[in-house]
Amino acid sequence: MSNVEAAKKLYTICMNMDIDETMQLVLSAENPDEQEFFSLLSDFVLQKQQKKSLHRRSFR
């Protein structure tokens, strides 16, 4: 599997994570770079969930 294919698969996996799972990653990071990466992922997942929630509310 190429790096591009692996990244696309990783994207799909990450989009199915919830905020608690991403926070577990942040807390279990083994070094500052890993912690930063997981923090960015956590922020991204949270933003997507917020957008989804706001979108649902606007149609009520």
- Contacts of residue 45, defined as CB under 8 A and 6 or more positions apart, other chains included, come to 14, 15, 17, 18, 19, 22
Q: How many domains does the chain have?
A: 1
Q: How confident is the model at residue 59 (pLDDT cuts 50, 70, 90)?
A: low
For residue 13, the enclosing domain spans: 3-58
DSSP 30: S
Per-residue pLDDT reduced to its tens digit, 27-56: 999 999 999 999 999 999 999 888 888 777
| Cα(32)–Cα(35) distance, integer angstroms | 5
Residue 38's alpha-carbon distances to 28, 55, 58, in angstroms, are 9, 26, 30
